[in-house]
Chain A
Amino acid sequence: MAKVLMKGNEAIALAAIKGGVDAFFGYPITPQNEIPEYLSKHLLANGKVFVQAESEVSAINMVYGAAGAGKRVMTSSSSPGIALKQEGISYIAGSELPCLIVSVMRGGPGLGGIQPSQADYYQATRGGGNGDYHVIVFAPETIQETIDIIKESFDIADYYRNPVMVLVDGLIGQMMESVDFDKPIRKRFIPEKDYATNGTRNHPGRRNIINSLHLDPVELEQHNLHLQKKYQTIRNNETRFEMINMEDAEYVIVAYGTMSRIARSAIEMLEEQGIKVGILRPISLWPFPKAAFDQIPATAKKILVSEMSMGQMLDDVLISDRGRREVAFYGRTGGMVPDPEELVDAILHFDERVVK
């Protein structure tokens, strides 16, 4: 397939098909509606499953059921809708089932707005479901990168038996870019889904039970220790980040998704003013690329964290940098997308923005 011009949300949908999605369950919410619209047409036409659920709560539980039945399953939503899915996400993570959740962020809190935002970093990386669980979260910055990650996400979810969330904002969902759907993805060993509840005739002599209930605290602690061991493997294997223009940098901007695109323009403008600025771009938000902060050159003593929120990833930067450098913050929120000039200004007035 040659390069095509495609809208972000539709590209997400087509990438999911290329990734082998068997079933989609969702509920309408702006700014992600093109995902279910595209899939409703193309999944049903190909004998796959599409259900528009009565709510996000129901949609994520349909995902839970179909994932337990051993299929490749996804849902997509936006901020208040992802909030409603948290219960189901906790059960899916607790029962160790794979699925893909696409989150196209809009402004909040509450009903908020429908313009692009990154104010759901906490929601994605900390979650609102109960218990000690993690969702693997990737935050691509282009539609091409989104496609590549979506295709790979099903394999990653299957490999670890864990939900994967692809986190973009409404800007990436709504804009168009030239993309290629045939870029190869990393080949992974995919274990057989011997847990699937598809009837004992498919696995005689063994009942399969999908469950997150362990009333015995000894057993529940053991289950959690097992999960933690898996999460450590994920930290070791799946942490992703990009270092940009880092050689001799005086400053480092830490930004992901749409913000890192803006930062790319800003550092060119700063270069013209003779100020060398690098970018640390986390691609996986959980696991957060802590070790990347060990690779920042000694020349860089100052870090500017920039987000389309009031400072959420900032916490992970402070945890990861461990006081080694001065950290400042610049953010816009509520659907406001900053200009590169604002980041240039934030670097020029760094001292005023230092996080105390």
Chain B
Amino acid sequence: METKYQKSKGLTDKNLTYCPGCTHGIVHKLVAESLEELNLIDRAVGLSSVGCSVFSYEFFNCDMQQAPHGRACAEATGIKRVLPDNIVFTYQGDGDLASIGIAETIHAANRGENITVIFINNAIYGMTGGQMAPTTLPGQKTTTSQSGRDVHLQGYPIKVSEIFAQIQGVAYLERVTVTSPKQLIKAKKAIKKAFQYQQEKRGFTMVEVLSTCPVNWGMTPVDAMKWVDSNMVPVFPLGVFKDTGEQNV
């Protein structure tokens, strides 16, 4: 019988430890398939970060390093600078990238480090139990903003892709979701393009994925998907924020 579909060789056989309905699993699959299709698995070095995805070193079927909270882009810089022909990627959540690690991330981007960042934005701290994230929406209830995020007290959701679009070292930057098959195909294309650009040594590439956290949002997986489209997308609009295209080649 002909095999029409199978698990990517970019993933190990470990069972994912993510909560039911969480989109980490989908994004893992897209990253793994992209690496496989570009024949990069055996050259890849991934960085797992602190948060729900800390165990991604168990799931991506390539060499991995586990980074201290927020430091993945610094660690990735160290690896890529000494191994320029390897493919180096980080997989980071919003607390890790946009709060404690914003300096490491922005400076890696500014240096044009030839790495790929997969940025999971689910507007909450998942691993620690649903605290307010830098990307939490105004009015969104979390365990540390129990009456809803008050922008006068707690500031505004930080718009990472909008900020990074200004940085010259960035070669490719797109914000996507995985809430429908159509969006998923777009997301896959973006991730694959980011790795292709890295292969072509064009500079810093990042794909921001608006993601779900049904457990800490207190929603069913289906409602969580709908909430991304109805509540997150208006604050974090989708699209290509930067694409150096042919100009840097």
Contacts and interface: CB of A to CB of B under 8 A. Distances in A.
B189 interface: no
Contacts of A87: 68
A243 interface: no
B67 interface: yes
A73 interface: yes
B120 to A, nearest CB: 19
Contacts of A200: 41-42, 62-63
B86 interface: yes
Nearest to B100: A57
Interface stretch (A47-55, A268-276, A327-335): A47-55
Contact of B78 (A66, A198, A207): A66
B65 A68 contact: yes
B165 interface: no
A65 B63 contact: no
B104 A61 contact: yes
A210 B82 CA distance: 16
Interface string A193-224: 00001111100100111111100000000000
A260 to B, nearest CB: 35
Contacts of A67: 78
Nearest to B50: A213
A243 B61 CA distance: 54
Contact of A62 (B12, B54, B57, B77): B77
Given A53-B107, A54-B107, A209-B66, A66 B79 contact: yes
A271 B87 CA distance: 65
Interface string B19-63: 000000000000000000000011111010000001001000111
A198 B63 contact: yes
A199 B45 contact: yes
B68 A61 contact: yes
Contact of A58 (B63, B65, B81, B103): B103
B80 to A, nearest CB: 8
Contacts of B65: 64-65, 68, 197, 209-211
B83 A198 contact: yes
A63 to B, nearest CB: 6
B74 interface: yes
Given A88-B68, A199-B42, A201-B42, A54 B104 contact: yes
Contact of A207 (B63, B75, B104, B107): B63
Contacts of A69: 45, 78-79, 82-83, 86
B215 interface: no
A213 B103 contact: no
Contacts of B77: 51, 53, 58, 62, 65
A197 B67 contact: no
Nearest to A203: B63
Contact of A71 (B67, B71, B75, B82): B82
A203 B67 CA distance: 22
A209 B55 CA distance: 11
Nearest to A207: B63
A22 interface: yes
Given A87-B68, A213-B54, A199 B82 contact: no
A68 B78 CA distance: 9
A55 B74 CA distance: 10
B82 A23 contact: yes
A231 interface: no
Given A69-B45, A201-B43, A61 B78 contact: yes
Given A51-B81, A199-B44, A62 B75 contact: yes
A91 interface: yes
B41 to A, nearest CB: 7
A51 B73 CA distance: 13
A73 B79 contact: no
A61 B75 contact: yes
B62 A23 contact: no
A61 B74 contact: yes
A57 B156 CA distance: 26
Pick the most buried of A63, A65, A67, A208: most chain B CB atoms within 10 A of its CB. Answer: A65
B78 A73 contact: yes
A25 interface: yes
A62 B66 CA distance: 13
B76 interface: yes
Nearest to A65: B78
24 contacts: A53-B77, A54-B107, A55-B103, A57-B71, A58-B74, A58-B103, A58-B107, A61-B71, A62-B78, A62-B81, A63-B78, A64-B74, A65-B74, A65-B76, A66-B79, A68-B79, A69-B79, A69-B83, A73-B78, A198-B45, A199-B44, A199-B83, A207-B64, A211-B65
Given A64-B65, A64-B78, A211-B65, 20 more contacts: A23-B81, A51-B81, A57-B103, A61-B74, A65-B79, A66-B78, A68-B79, A69-B78, A69-B79, A88-B68, A198-B86, A199-B63, A199-B86, A200-B62, A204-B42, A207-B63, A208-B64, A209-B57, A209-B64, A210-B64
Interface of A: 22-23, 25, 49, 51, 53-55, 57-59, 61-69, 71, 73, 87-88, 91, 95, 197-201, 204, 207-213
Pairs of residues from A and B, 8 with the lowest C-beta to C-beta distance, nearest first: A65-B78, A65-B75, A62-B78, A61-B74, A66-B78, A201-B42, A197-B63, A54-B107
